[in-house]
A = this chain, B = another copy of it.
Amino acid sequence: MRLVTYRGSSDSRIGVVLAGDRVLDVRAGALEDIVGDAASLASVREAAEASSPASGLPRIDELDLLPPVRPGKLLCIGYNYRGHVPDGEDPTANDPAYPDVFVKTANVLIGPNDPVQLPQVEADVDYEGEIALVIGRRAKNVPVSTALDHVAGYTLFDDVTARDWQRHGSQFTLGKSFDTFGPLGPWLVTADEIPDPQSLVVEVERAGVVTARQSTATMIFPMAFLVHHLSQVMTLEPGDVISTGTPQKLPDAAATHRSLADGDVVAVRVAGIGELTTRFTTITEDA
């Protein structure tokens, strides 16, 4: 089931995306308020299954999509995809012992069709296309073996990054947390549709050129481990988002990389989840 949150005439609405990308309005609210509630999700599923042919419904591109959830915590993982090594070498040789975790603040979050605003104070803006998992059931001290039971589903995230600001200190926070630096969406795909999140291929495209393509099988810390690990520290709540790291840029793309500029478009694509396409724009900043 693909679930969206979008702006209704007077409130935010939850919808199910049906065949032909038509959206069935199922209720007011926001996904983070129901992803932890099995009964609510079941009633949404029933409504979707009971709906008549979808042709009378609005198409998804007619709707003003909001971020599928507004997470109380937006946790991101640094280096988490192994690089390519020559045959015979151990690809795990350079694995860190622990995931490197950072936070993006709430002001970064934008809907899947909203543009990222390029700040005037940063000359080197980069993209990082990622799979983001959304917590469904509260998690504290959960073992790896049952960690994915706490995941409501998956969506896509662009961990937009201001590289100069990121390098200003030891902590990534400011380089990661400019307003609008977090497009999320387009929808939440419920976990039942992704039986094995470690066999997905993440593809990132800039201006029509694939710049990264890597399987989640090459993740250093699989998603179940991430949920387990984070839950040793913090109570994960329904709607919390863990963005699971970006695949490495392909050698050509890394060699020719330049800062994102006005009009650039980046797409993140994962078969079984969907595609998140983001436009970058310059702005006149507020005084």
User: Which residues of A line the B interface, CB within 8 A?
Assistant: 72-73, 75, 78, 96-103, 105-108, 119, 121, 140-141, 162, 165, 168-174, 177-179, 230, 232-235, 237, 285-287
Closest-CB distance, A14 to chain B (whole angstroms): 23
Q: List 11 A-B contacts (CB under 8 A).
A: A73-B107, A75-B173, A78-B171, A100-B169, A101-B174, A102-B103, A105-B234, A141-B286, A165-B233, A171-B172, A179-B235
Copy number in this complex?
2
Q: Which residues of B contact A103 (CB under 8 A)?
A: 102-103, 105, 173, 177
B72, B78, B119, B286: the one contacting A106 at CB < 8 Å is B72
Q: Which chain B residues lie closer than 8 Å to A168 at the CB level?
A: 97-98
- When distances are taken between beta carbons in the complex, the residues of chain B under 8 Å from A98 are 168-169
Contacts of A170 in B (CB 8 A): 78, 100, 170
Given known contacts A73-B105, A171-B171, A141 and B287 CB-to-CB distance under 8 angstroms: yes
- A73–B106 CA distance with the chains assembled, in angstroms: 7
Instruction: Kindly provide the distance from the CB of A82 to the nearest chain B CB, expressed in whole angstroms.
Output: 17
Distance A96 CA – B167 CA, assembled complex (angstroms): 12
Q: In the assembly, what is the distance between CA of A60 and CA of B20, in Å?
A: 60
| Contact partner, A171, options B102, B165, B177, Cβ 8 Å | B102
Does B234 lie within 8 Å of A179, measured CB to CB?
yes
A119 proximity list for chain B (CB < 8 A): 232-233
